[in-house]
Amino acid sequence: VVTTIRAAVVEKSGTLPEIQEVDLVDVGGDEVLVRLAATGVCHTDVGWAAGDYDALEGAFPFPVILGHESAGVVEEVGANVTHLRPGDRVVLTLAHHCGHCGYCARGTPMLCDQRVQNRTRHIRDGLPIVQGHGTGGFAEATIVRAVSAIKVPADVPLEVAALLGCAVATGVGAAVNLAQVRPGSTVAVIGAGGVGVSVVMGAKLAGAERIVVLEPNADRRAQVAAFGATDTLGADEAAAAELEPHGFDYVFESAGRGDTMEMAVRLARKGGTVTLIGAPPPDVSVTLPALDFVASQKRLLGCLTGNVHPDIDIDAYCRLYLRGELPLDRLVSARIPFDDLHVGFQRTADGVGLRTVVVF
């Protein structure tokens, strides 16, 4: 049986996705075919299409079907899949983990040795097209490893559930899983896009007393209080330092820039924890004043999708959303039809709104 669907293909570096017909391969034994309902547009999609990661030879190939923040309905399951059945509503996670390598055993599925980022399950004119980030979410349907599809409760809208795949998992996970924000602590968040406000939500959940957001975009600044920010500033290091003269317990960088990463380290208190989340282009480096860093005993953490534990975290985020403790609806700034995907790319590139979601 050949399943023909519409998918948005980016032909080559520096071009935008174009919607065309492609076929799906047969569903493998440990895979599921998911009819997609919604896919969020992430900065990484825009950067991949623009060629920001071309220097990482072969890791971000073309032609590619981007989109890695997706939710939908299972249509077909492989012969070995026992935990999902057709009709299940699922969010697709980015872990694509094997479940038994050393990294999976250590509870870091995002670092899994078997993690397959660039699979090919869509075919055009007999040639395979890469699924960006192992998902291929800018398409009417996709095939993923069953381990990457996590069931969501009936009352969580799929356009909200989609955000659990990347932005929310990354931001909330950065605060809760990686930095392990403590009750009563002080937090600074640099950059308030979909990931940054998710850090704010995570820090609030964890009981932070003060959450300061540094964001140059006034429209985004106006929205962060609703997620739990207590103070909002422009990209103003001096103003932030004035608010907490001894530095912050936790600082998060989600702008993906070298200069703001260095700022993040400066804003942390002695013994404070700095978490770097934003994905800069591969040629960006940061410089630290080494003696000061050593003597102030700061901690510096990298963050890949919030070290999400899909089977535990996605379910928890859904329940917190239903209890009103994760205001995920507010993250969706715009819903656009699939045919307007280029508008979503433009909005994301321009930093308009928090998250633009394609609704199929």
The residue ranges that bind Zn ion (CB under 5 A) are 42, 44, 97-98, 101, 104, 112, 114, 166
DSSP annotation of 326 reads S
**Of 319, 280, 312, whose CA–CA distance to 109 is shortest?**
312
When the beta carbons of 101 and 123 are compared against Zn ion, the nearer one is: 101
- 249 vs 73, 150, 179, 206, 243, CA distance in Å? 41, 33, 10, 13, 13
Pinpoint the alpha helices (H) of 213-333: 218-221, 237-243, 258-267, 290-295, 310-322
Single-letter code of the amino acid located at 33? L
For the CB of residue 115, give the shortest distance to Zn ion in the complex, in Å. Answer: 7
For the CB of residue 324, give the shortest distance to Zn ion in the complex, in Å. Answer: 25
Distance CA 33, CA 145 (A): 9
Quick check: 267 and 243 in contact, CB under 8 A?
Answer: no
When the beta carbons of 166 and 211 are compared against Zn ion, the nearer one is: 166
Residue where the block lists tokens 């500033």: 233
- DSSP-derived 3-state class of residue 203: helix
For the CB of residue 289, give the shortest distance to Zn ion in the complex, in Å. Answer: 31
When the beta carbons of 27 and 147 are compared against Zn ion, the nearer one is: 147
When the beta carbons of 97 and 266 are compared against Zn ion, the nearer one is: 97
For the CB of residue 45, give the shortest distance to Zn ion in the complex, in Å. Answer: 7
For the CB of residue 171, give the shortest distance to Zn ion in the complex, in Å. Answer: 11
For the CB of residue 21, give the shortest distance to Zn ion in the complex, in Å. Answer: 26
When the beta carbons of 163 and 240 are compared against Zn ion, the nearer one is: 163
For the CB of residue 241, give the shortest distance to Zn ion in the complex, in Å. Answer: 30
When the beta carbons of 101 and 116 are compared against Zn ion, the nearer one is: 101
Distance CA 351, CA 345 (A): 10
**Of 308, 303, 203, 307, whose CA–CA distance to 253 is shortest?**
303
For the CB of residue 243, give the shortest distance to Zn ion in the complex, in Å. Answer: 30
When the beta carbons of 104 and 200 are compared against Zn ion, the nearer one is: 104
Mind giving me the DSSP string for 139-183? BSEEEEEGGGEEE--TTS-HHHHGGGTTHHHHHHHIIIIIS-PPT
When the beta carbons of 37 and 279 are compared against Zn ion, the nearer one is: 279
Backbone angles phi, psi at 70, to 5 degrees: -125, 155
Distance CA 160, CA 138 (A): 16
Instruction: Give residues with Cβ within 8 angstroms of 118, minimum separation 6.
Output: 59, 61, 64, 130, 131, 132, 134
